[in-house]
Structure 1
Amino acid sequence: MAFDFDLFVIGGGSGGVRAARIAASQYGARVALAEESRMGGTCVIRGCVPKKLMVFASSFPAAVAEAQEYGWDAQIGAFDWPAFRARLDQELTRLEGAYRGGLERAGVTIHDCRASVAGPHEVRLADGRIVSAKHILIATGGWPVVPEKWQGHGAMTSNEVFEMEQLPGSILIVGGGYIATEFACIFNGLGVKTTQFYRGAQILRGFDDEARGHIADQMCENGVDLHLGTDVLDITRDDSGYHVTSTTGRNGRYDAILFATGRRPNSAGLGLEALGLTLKPNGAIPVDDYSQTAIPSIFAVGDVTDRANLTPVAIREGHAFADTIFGGKATTFDHSLIPTAVFTQPEFGTVGQSEEEARAAGPVHVYATAFRPMRTAFIGHPERVLMKLIVCARSNKVLGCHIVADQAGEMIQLAAVAIAMGATKADFDRTLAVHPTMAEELVTMRTATRSHDG
């Protein structure tokens, strides 16, 4: 059977674009891609990139305050949100153009519209046209959701944050995951009176317990009004703002509310169920190690599969798909050792197992230290850095590394290289320290803080 294309990709985010570009440019496949919104997906348009730029913007008041204590006659005025947003829009437009240009240079046919699956080898475009493809790749990402009870109350999600006309004077952020916690730090740094509700016992569920507790303490020290074990009970709105009652009886008024209570795979309306494909309860598309669904010609990568919802993971999954299907090289991506950074203030970098995960699997030694870094200790600031290594008691292999510190994301990237290579604690010990740095603590901790028998 002759097909219009060798590959049709639905979704123009990081995973879909990588798969399309590699299949076309490296392997000569005839590729088409459909994207109903802006090219670049969540990361470029409404996620990692604009968020990180807001992190940068929010860090300057503290930096200027430190400069003053170091002796500089430094001052900072009001934050001009409209000017920042205009420049942000320009940067996102530039990045979107770069994504589109990469696809065009690779020879990918772009359809700027919504697409759905009409059959195992058929894609229906928004104008009703049907195109055929030997392989179909779903890369439609995820989408933030507001709890049904609070829909229609005017609250924002992480999608709308970057579209605000003006910066609120006060904000309530509901949620305790990395998105909620990052935005709590961002708004607090921008001078917004920031309150965060999380119904759980501690923020950043799933990460190392000691690290998440350290971050929560530092956030409170920095001015975030964090309430754990707390959820929204009632919301009313009038000309003065949002009036919120919490489950713990706390009443507050806020200029804005941001719900960051979860994301769902963006699979609705794709037509997959009509083909007999059963989705997971949250809408995720089930796939095997090669990103193949139960329908042999249909594949899925990225957040829509709900495996590990991170941009670099989607990129690697998309690349592995192209190598497998069009390069003749059976390639999978190992989801077991994923380094990541949470851009809170202080920043959190982590790779490998948490202390809790490692302890449940067997005997471990834990090496941990918390200290005041030189830069801020000099001016009498109380914040502390956390460095932590989790080591297998049997093999001496480093199972996990967790850093809470300024630039922790930069540090964890290099630590991840060593851990991915199977470095032992002895390897860390014989590595010469770079002095004076914070990261030198990773190679100078000689005595275990505690041990667990498993």
Structure 2
Amino acid sequence: MSLLASEVLVVGAGPAGTLAALRAGDLGARTTLVTAGPFGGMAANDGPVPVRTLAHAARLMREARQLAQYGVEVGAPRLDYSRLLARVDEVVGRVGERAALLDQIRAAGVALHADAGAVRFLDPHTLENADGQRFEAGKIILCTGGVSRRLPVPGIDLTSTHSDAWSLTAAPQSLIVVGSGATGAQVASVFNAFGSHVELFEAGERILRTEEPEVSACVAAAFRNAGIAIHEAFGMIEAFEAAPSGVRMIYVKDGQRRRAEAAVVVVAVGWAADTAALNLPAAGVETNDRGFIRVDAAQRTTAPHIYAAGDVVGVRMLAPQALQSGFVAATNAVTGASERAEHLVNPIGSFTDPEYAQVGLGEDAARAAHDALVVTAGFDAVTRAIIDGRETGLCKLVVDRADHRLLGCHLVGERAVEVAQIAAVAIAAGMRIDDLARLPISYPTYAGVLGRAAAMAARALNPDLAPPPFAADLR
């Protein structure tokens, strides 16, 4: 048994933990970073990085099928899944080496213990892993992230998580995806592009229910046109069982028992805090009714010397927000301050086909607090979308009639996630829609849809306003 003592111990090396350790080290604290798996956590090794790599392959498959439309004659694209997985591994490795702050962590003097296995509290200041190695610190920051939520139904062990889906040895002939949030929609979209027959099951009334209804409807229509079978309000799952083709899902709707079968079933019904191994009661750390670690505005847990950040606290479970909360947690742990992780602007997007994204207020929330104007521009009138043959999509803007500020932006269509970042900057800057409409956006680009929608809103607020000179896509 060995004991490693430090001033600050960070548990977990995803975005929150990495930045927490870097910040603590930069502030001069003797810092240790311990992680159960490889450096980079879920984001680099099992989340956005590998997922986006597969989504890029799906995009290439789609674009290859467009070649004949532009006079380029080649054979039909064929996916070599093993080579794709090798590329995923290569990308994950390069990101870990170059983009995941590893060099900065080392330069800050942080002692890194990767692949250490799970650790558990022995007392409020000491944690131990399965090998008997102990880590002790005056201040502790928990950044252990999350895990896929499992349904409490018989046969759930026959199903897969999104992680299992990414590590398949071949694209399955058929695939059932249960849950149509960001993860489920991405799994469905990617494997549909790879040639799998995909069925997407959603318990709610519509897929992507956290998005605006127009966005949800547009994505659903595009999915159906691409051959994905969507089952909304499908009922309740009774059980999963083995079937000759793979897995059978038994569910009940309107009192009738129904069945669906596929080679692989992926369940993507939410995210839970990864705290099962930590033995939190030994440290006096409490969780909330959703099972996430309870923290105050300063990221402090119910144990005054222990902080938590990232997905493990269950607030805006996205990498940029995890980075910010990790930075704040470390600042407060080392300095004793009570800084807050402000999340005023939170762009969210997913790399499905088509992409969708949002930032700021939705229409209902905006109307509850503002006299709101809502305008919608279609991608089918955007020059770049016409050029590329990618006319499916829309841009919905929510604007305050009183001061003309942009309150929200909701997109679906090609490069929607990138376009949303411009809207995020405009919202953060308190930009008036009139000024956004006059922003000279390069032509022809997908960002033109934002300029077009902004010009529509500006003219609706002031009908006497001359057409904005720079809104090249306002025809």
Return the TM-score normalized by structure 2. Answer: 0.88
Q: What residue is the counterpart of 1:239 in the other structure?
A: 244
Contact 1:122 1:130 in 2 (8 A): yes
Q: Deviations over 1:235-279 (max 9, x none)?
A: 331333223344346543311110001110111231222333321
Q: Is the CA contact (8 Å cut-off) linking 1:389 and 1:402 kept in structure 2?
A: yes
Task: Report the Cα offset of residue 383 of structure 1.
Answer: 4.6
Indicate the residue corresponding to 1:291 in structure 2: 299
Q: Which moved more, 1:202-211 or 1:186-195?
A: 202-211
Pairing 1:382-421 to 2, within 5 Å after superposition: 383-421=391-429
Match of 2:72 in 1: 72
Indicate the residue corresponding to 1:123 in structure 2.
127
Q: How does 1:165-184 map to 2 (within 5 A)?
A: 165-184=169-188
* Partner of residue 267, structure 1: 275
1:86-125 aligned at under 5 Å gives the runs 86-97=86-97, 99=100, 100-111=102-113, 112-125=116-129
How many residues in Structure 1 have an aligned counterpart in Structure 2? 447
Residues 423-442 of structure 1 mapped to structure 2, 5 A cutoff: 423-442=431-450
> Is the Cα–Cα contact under 8 Å of residues 299 and 307 in structure 2 kept in the other structure?
yes
Instruction: Give the C-alpha shift of residue 374 in structure 1.
Output: 4.1
Name the counterpart of 1:159: 163
SS class of match (2:204): coil
- Report the alpha carbon displacement of residue 129 of structure 1 after superposing the two structures with TM: 4.3
Q: CA deviation at 1:158?
A: 1.2
The CA distance in 2 between the partners of 1:443 and 1:77, in whole Å, is 36
Distance 1:150 1:400, change over 3 A: farther
For the residues of structure 2 that align with 1:238 and 1:365, how far apart are their CA atoms? Answer: 53
Deviations 1:13-70 (A, max 9, x none): 111011112211x222111121112221111111100000010011122212222101
Change (3 A) 1:115 1:74: same
- The one-letter code matched in structure 1 to 2:13 is G
CA contact (8 A) 1:366 1:450 kept: no
1:306 matched residue in structure 2? 314
* Sequence identity (%): 28
Counterpart amino acid of 1:72? Answer: V
SS in 2 for 1:160: helix
* Residue of structure 1 in register with 2:19 after alignment: 18
Structure 1 pair 349–444 and aligned structure 2 pair: CA distance change class (3 A): same
Q: Distance in 2 between matches of 1:85 and 1:302?
A: 28
Q: CA offset at residue 450 of structure 1?
A: 9.5
**Given that residues 291 and 317 in structure 1 are in contact (C-alpha distance below 8 angstroms), is that contact kept between their aligned partners in structure 2?**
yes
Give the unaligned 5+ runs of structure 2. Answer: 462-475
1:242 aligns to what SS in structure 2? Answer: strand
Structure 1 residues 364 and 376, CA, compared in 2 at 3 Å: closer, same or farther?
Answer: closer
Query: After TM superposition, which residue ranges in structure 1, 4 or more long, deviate above 6 angstroms?
Result: none
Letter in 2 for 1:54: L
SS in 2 for 1:135: strand
Q: Distance in 1 between matches of 2:298 and 2:20?
A: 13
Which of 145, 148, 173 is the aligned partner of 1:141? 145
Between stretches 195-204 and 92-101, larger displacement belongs to 92-101
- My pick for the range that moved more, 35-44 or 326-335, is 326-335
Residue 8 (structure 1) aligns with: 9
How far apart, in 1, do the equivalents of 2:217 and 2:260 lie?
A: 25
- Cα–Cα, structure 1 residues 22 and 378, in superposed 2: closer, same or farther, change >3 Å? closer
Tell me by how many angstroms 1:407 deviates.
Answer: 0.9
Q: Summarize the Cα distance change of 1:331–1:76 in structure 2 as closer, same or farther, 3 Å threshold.
A: farther
Relative to the length of structure 1, the TM-score reads: 0.91
Distance 1:309 1:36 in 2: 20
Give the counterpart letter for 2:108 in structure 1.
A
Deviation at 1:97, TM superposition (A): 4.7
Structure 2: which amino acid aligns with 1:160? D
Match of 2:378 in 1: 370
Q: 8 Å contact 2:65–2:77 — kept in the other structure?
A: no
| Equivalent position of 1:341 in the other structure | 349
Aligned-residue offset at 1:221 = 1.5
1:407-449 CA-partner distances (Å, limit 9, x unpaired): 1111111221111011111221232353333322322344459
Q: Deviations over 1:377-428 (max 9, x none)?
A: 468x685220111011222211101121211111111221111011111221
Is 1:43 the counterpart of 2:43 in the alignment?
A: yes
Q: Distance in 1 between matches of 2:240 and 2:460?
A: 46
Decide whether the 8 Å contact of 1:6 with 1:30 is kept in 2.
Answer: yes
Change (3 A) 1:101 1:160: farther
Q: 1:267–1:304: 8 Å Cα contact kept in structure 2?
A: yes
Asked whether the 8 Å contact 1:158–1:258 carries over to 2, the reply is yes
* SS across alignment from 2:63: helix
Aligned partners of 1:251 and 1:149: how far apart in 2?
A: 15
Query: How far apart, CA to CA, are the structure 1 residues paired with 2:21 and 2:291?
Result: 24
Q: Secondary structure at the match of 2:395?
A: strand
The 1-side partners of 2:215 and 2:243 are apart by 39
The whole-number CA distance in structure 1 between the counterparts of 2:379 and 2:33 is: 50
Counterpart CA distance in 1 for 2:159 and 2:404 is 49
The structure-2 alpha-carbon separation of the partners of 1:76 and 1:297, relative to structure 1 and needing over 3 Å to count, comes to: same
- 1:96 deviates by 3.7
State the distance in 1 between where 2:73 and 2:209 align: 42
What code does the residue aligned with 2:109 have? G
Answer yes or no: is the 8 Å Cα contact 2:155–2:239 preserved in 1.
no
Please list the CA deviations of residues 214-234 of structure 1 after superposition, one character each: whole Å capped at 9, or x if unmatched: 211111112211110114344
Preserved CA contact (<8 Å) 1:9 1:138: yes
Query: What residue number does 2:470 align with?
Result: none
Greater Cα shift, 356-365 or 442-451: 442-451
